[in-house]
Structure 1
């Protein structure tokens, strides 16, 4: 199953290149990267579950 999303920030900033994770029950089940138009598509197994999307925190820098 393919899950497609269109992302727009209220600030108008681009999310191009942002790595995203698709989660089911707090477990990462798919990863994808936002394209230049703000679109992202996840390939995941079909099923009746609650899903969530978050930014892959590995891009965050500390210090």
Structure 2
């Protein structure tokens, strides 16, 4: 199943290149990267589950 998400920040900032994760029951089931138009596409198995999206924490720098 293909899931497309369009992201728009209230600040008008771009999320281009940001890695995102699609979560099911708190666990990542797919990953995608935001394009220049603010769209990210996830490929995941079809099913009746509650989904969430978060920024892939690997982009966060420590310290």
Do the two structures share a fold, i.e. TM-score over 0.5?
yes
Matches of 2:23 and 2:39, distance apart in 1 = 18
Structure 1 stretches of 4+ moved >4 Å: none
| 1:2-60 Cα shifts (integer Å, max 9, x gaps) | 00010000000000000000000011000000000000110000000000000001100
**Does residue 10 in structure 1 map to residue 6 in structure 2?**
no
TM-score (norm 1): 0.98
User: Can you give the 5+ residue segments of structure 1 that lack an aligned partner in the other structure?
Assistant: none
After TM superposition, the structure 1 = structure 2 runs for residues 27-46 of structure 1, keeping only pairs within 5 Å, are 27-46=27-46
RMSD: 0.4
User: Can you give the 5+ residue segments of structure 2 that lack an aligned partner in the other structure?
Assistant: none
TM-score (norm 2): 0.98
How many residues in Structure 1 have an aligned counterpart in Structure 2? 63
